[in-house]
Chain A
Amino acid sequence: MSLRSPLGKVLGTGSAKEGVHHWWMQRLTSIALVPLTIWFVVSLLSLGSFEHVAVITWMAQSWTALLLVLFILVATWHSQLGVRVVVEDYVHGGSKTLTLVLITFIHAVVAAAGIFAVLKVAFGGAA
């Protein structure tokens, strides 16, 4: 027995072939975040001092800056995918679309600001 509708058979339509994208990106970002988050938390905990000079010295190192940029990019992406699902499940009616737009914009701003800040420090702009 086929699960396709008679109309679908006539029109020859299939799926939009995009259904797996969200799921796949969620998994990719999850895998990447395992090492990135562990590195980030361990780095912060072993920083010792949070004085401006100490933070800048740490953040301006090439590998630190690179990993921080990756961490921010992947974490905000993963966060956006996750929060989106929660909104889709619990927010209904007209405010749903508005909430989804806001969530997306906030994540874009957070990602851009985080990456900008790290690069500015890395290129010596905050000393």
Chain B
Amino acid sequence: MFRYTLFTSFANRVTGLVLSLGLLVLVYWLMAVASGAAAYERAFGILSMPIFKLFYAVLLLTFSYHLVAGLRHLVWDTGRGLEREQSKRSAWIVGIVSVLLMIAFLYWAFCPGAHQS
């Protein structure tokens, strides 16, 4: 039986785990930057592979969700929005806002000329 609470809670965990994996890639990139131009070229070749580009897209998706869902948790911590109807409504808001954020990030990251301002 599908319950939205099950989905929102599980999604927050899964996106958190994916973002933790993202930290590993981030540190690999930072260490490459710190190791000088030649080492960076090699790492840049690896990090430019399609599988990594797909991962960056996934990271932007998961970040969008985890950020908005996390804000919902912080609001709950103040004791607000815990009624059943409010919680249902905020789940919808989280879904809609995070999808909008995902679209904006993906457009910015992958559409050439999106930041020519």
Which residues does A use to contact B, with CB under 8 Å? 27, 30-31, 33-34, 37-38, 41, 45-46, 48, 50, 52-53, 55-56, 59, 72, 75-76, 79, 82-83, 86, 110, 113-114, 116-118, 120-121, 125-126
Given the interface contacts A45-B108, A86-B17, does A75 sit within 8 Å of B71 by beta carbon? no
Give, as a whole number of angstroms, the nearest-CB distance from A51 to chain B. 9
Q: Does B88 contact A (CB under 8 A)?
A: no
Confirm or deny: B85 has a beta carbon within 8 angstroms of a beta carbon on chain A: no
The majority secondary structure among interface residues of chain B is: helix
A34 and B77: CB pair below 8 A? no
Does B46 belong to the interface (CB within 8 Å)? no
* A56 / chain B contacts, CB cutoff of 8 Å: 33
Query: Does more than half of chain A's interface fall in helix, strand or loop, or is it mixed?
Result: helix
B23 within 8 A of A: yes
User: Cβ of A27 and Cβ of B17 under 8 Å apart?
Assistant: no
Q: Is the CB of B27 within 8 A of A55?
A: no
Shortest Cβ distance from residue A4 to the other chain B in the assembled complex, whole angstroms: 26
With A30-B70, A30-B74, A50-B44: A55-B33 Cβ-Cβ less than 8 Å: yes
Q: Which residues of B contact A125 (CB under 8 A)?
A: 34
A45–B34 Cα distance when bound, in Å, is: 20
A-contact bits for B27-59, CB 8 A (1 contact / 0 none): 100110111110011001000000000000000
Q: Which 9 A-B pairs have the closest CB atoms?
A: A117-B30, A117-B34, A120-B34, A79-B20, A52-B40, A114-B27, A82-B16, A52-B37, A126-B34
